Homo-oligomer: A and B are copies of this chain.
Amino acid sequence: MSAPAAPPPEQMAVVLTESAADKLLPFATLVSGALALGFRVDVFASYWGLMAFRKSPPASTSTVSPGHGEDGARLEKALTAPKAPSWKAILEMAKSIGELHIYACSQSMEVLGLSKTDLDPLVDGVTGVATFIDRTRSANVTYFI
């Protein structure tokens, strides 16, 4: 008699459409925390969220979301300080400890004129939105960032 199958891990689904550091940091820490708790995490990177994974983002991309005046300037400074947390480093560390899947949105790829080789190796593949929803239809936690 075979042993009963282990239950599937809890799952977090994230649709990422932002590229400013004040969104990418909460994103990376959420993903990291979920993986540390044993969740499987599936990310669908769309539009600006996909741009964030380009190998060479142009310098014109702002670090902090606009519209925050002096506070924004202060946060920008804090986030570019040498010891500031890096969302990419948090994500790379997270990927080494658990099951993290990052998919590029195929519609965004086409509109933005990007190909798989333009993207960071953290991105596992290109997929359509229906495939993503199908993979995450039983997710315990779902966030659109």
Contact = CB atoms under 8 A, between A and B. Distances in A.
Given A30-B133, A79-B111, A60 B66 contact: no
Interface string A17-48: 10110110110011011101101000000111
* Interface size, A (range): 35 or more
A115 interface: no
A108 B26 CA distance: 9
A137 interface: yes
Number of copies of this kind of chain in the complex: 3
A17 B10 contact: no
A23 B17 contact: yes
Contact of A111 (B34, B58, B71, B84): B84
